[in-house]
Amino acid sequence: AQSVTQLGSHVSVSEGALVLLRCNYSSSVPPYLFWYVQYPNQGLQLLLKYTTGATLVKGINGFEAEFKKSETSFHLTKPSAHMSDAAEYFCAVSGWNTGKLIFGQGTTLQVKP
């Protein structure tokens, strides 16, 4: 069984500040991990993904995430927030033996001027 927990349903940062969105997962098999962004009334856009190999993964728009097996975490970071980063962010987990994505509850990122 797999599950995802996103700590903090709402995160607010100032423009230019560090963005940190937390994601912890549970998986009985080696996980594949994803971060998606969703803008209002739109579908999901993939930010980055981890399958195997390098544990620090770089994605689009300056985001990156680090897979830490010992902490079962896959936190998303960005050094400097931009107003356009305001959106809903979803962490998701999948396993090699299943094609399903299990999503976290989502985190709303607010960026203040």
Nearest CB to another protein, comparing residues 41 and 84? 41
7 binds another protein (CB under 8 A): no
Residues paired with 65 in a beta bridge: 57, 76
Q: Is the CB of residue 74 less than 8 Å from the CB of residue 91?
A: yes
83: phi then psi, degrees, rounded to nearest 5? -55, -35
Taking CB under 8 A as the criterion, which residues in 24-53 touch another protein? 32, 34, 36, 41-46, 49, 51
Q: Which is nearer to another protein, 73 or 107 (CB)?
A: 107
CA distances 5 to 25, 31, 36, Å, are 6, 14, 14
Give the interface with another protein as residue ranges (CB under 8 A). Answer: 32, 34, 36, 41-46, 49, 51, 90, 94-96, 98-101, 103-106
